[in-house]
């Protein structure tokens, strides 16, 4: 069995003492690839060094996390976008980006502005999005829809025949709604964005989680990618400890139970989903 962890912060300092061991355990458990979402300006270098040391296995993303805007985000974003203009840059996605109003709503508008700018990069540079959303479902859907619609207007005004010959469609954009934990209605709304997957990790194993029922009711396995969000959100029986990619086997076992499929099938289908969504990681 091989699987892909689409969301790990393995460059985090919590792994400084034993990062090589953690990686070896991941590969031994069946991880074929691990994707690394960026957090802020300071995490770019350790993330890149780690990816460069593991070519064909670890892949970096670029983006500014919604909880890390601070007071420098207007300078940080152009610096990050400049990285995307370099030929042969290594980034496979824009992430992680999004909205988080759980701890702090003081940058309510600024978070939406920064997220909208970074959704624009995904369209401009043809990369998938890794979207983080907490206590902000409505606003996230609104910003994403607004930016995608704005880009339809641009493309149809350049090509007026498109708007006449067929219904305007949302332009091709792909990605992951990371750490999905919402209701069935929210899942359906997110799945209406074609080309987007729901990222599922340790939370699905938590005893009181409503997520298994939501998945069974409205989410086909073909719309799921696996993720740890390491070092956070370790699955049962490691709950509360530092998470790592090797623990994904617990998530796979739980999904196999939810969908009445073999663990091998869950690993295979979610691997195909991940490679379809992140074509630069093939």
The residue ranges that bind Ni ion (CB under 5 A) are: 229
Calpha distance 125→33 (Å, rounded):
23
> Smallest distance, Å, CB 63 to Ni ion?
11
Query: Pick from 71, 173, 161, 157: which is nearest to 116 by CA?
Result: 173
> Smallest distance, Å, CB 96 to Ni ion?
5
Query: Pick from 165, 7, 201: which is nearest to 97 by CA?
Result: 7
> Smallest distance, Å, CB 181 to Ni ion?
13
Q: Mention every residue, 6+ apart, whose C-beta is less than 8 A from residue 110.
A: 69, 73
130 or 151: CB nearest Ni ion: 130
Angle in degrees, 0-180, between the axes of helices 263-277 and 248-259, rounded to the nearest 10: 110
What is the full DSSP assignment across 149-217? Answer: HHHHHHHHHH-HHHHHHS--------EEEET----HHHHHHHHTSTTEEEEE-GGGGSTT-SHHHHHHH
135 or 149: CB nearest Ni ion: 135
> Smallest distance, Å, CB 9 to Ni ion?
6
139 or 229: CB nearest Ni ion: 229
Q: Which helix (H) or strand (E) holds 96?
A: strand 94-100
30 or 98: CB nearest Ni ion: 98
Query: Pick from 53, 52, 40, 54: which is nearest to 12 by CA?
Result: 40
8 A C-beta contact, residue 273 and residue 279: no
> Smallest distance, Å, CB 160 to Ni ion?
42
229 or 244: CB nearest Ni ion: 229
What the block records as the tokens of 93 is 């996605």
67 or 139: CB nearest Ni ion: 67
> Smallest distance, Å, CB 7 to Ni ion?
6
């Amino acid at each position: 069995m091989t699987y892909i962890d689409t969301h790990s912060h393995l460059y985090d300092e919590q792994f400084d003492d034993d990062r090589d061991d953690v990686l070896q355990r991941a590969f031994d458990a069946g991880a074929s690839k691990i994707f690394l979402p960026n957090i802020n300006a300071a995490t770019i270098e350790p993330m890149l060094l780690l990816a460069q040391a593991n070519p064909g296995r670890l892949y970096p993303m670029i983006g500014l996390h919604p909880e890390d805007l601070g007071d420098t985000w207007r300078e940080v974003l152009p610096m990050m976008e400049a990285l995307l203009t370099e030929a042969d840059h290594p980034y496979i996605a824009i992430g992680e980006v999004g909205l988080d109003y759980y701890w702090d709503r003081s940058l309510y508008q600024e978070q939406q502005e920064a997220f909208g700018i970074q959704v624009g990069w995904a369209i401009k540079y043809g990369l998938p999005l890794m979207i983080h959303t907490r206590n902000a479902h409505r606003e996230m859907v609104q910003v994403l829809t607004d930016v995608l619609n704005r880009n339809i207007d641009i493309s149809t005004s350049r090509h007026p025949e498109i708007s006449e010959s067929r219904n305007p469609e949302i332009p091709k954009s792909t990605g992951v709604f990371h750490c999905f934990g919402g209701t069935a209605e929210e899942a359906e709304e997110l799945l209406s964005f074609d080309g987007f997957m729901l990222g599922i990790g340790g939370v699905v194993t938590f005893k009181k989680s409503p997520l298994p029922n939501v998945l069974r009711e409205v989410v086909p396995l073909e719309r799921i990618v696996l993720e740890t969000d390491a070092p956070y959100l370790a699955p049962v029986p490691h709950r509360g400890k530092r998470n790592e990619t090797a623990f994904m086997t617990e998530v796979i076992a739980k999904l196999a139970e939810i969908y009445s499929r073999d663990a091998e099938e869950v690993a295979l289908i979610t691997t195909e989903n991940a490679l379809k969504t992140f074509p630069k990681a093939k």
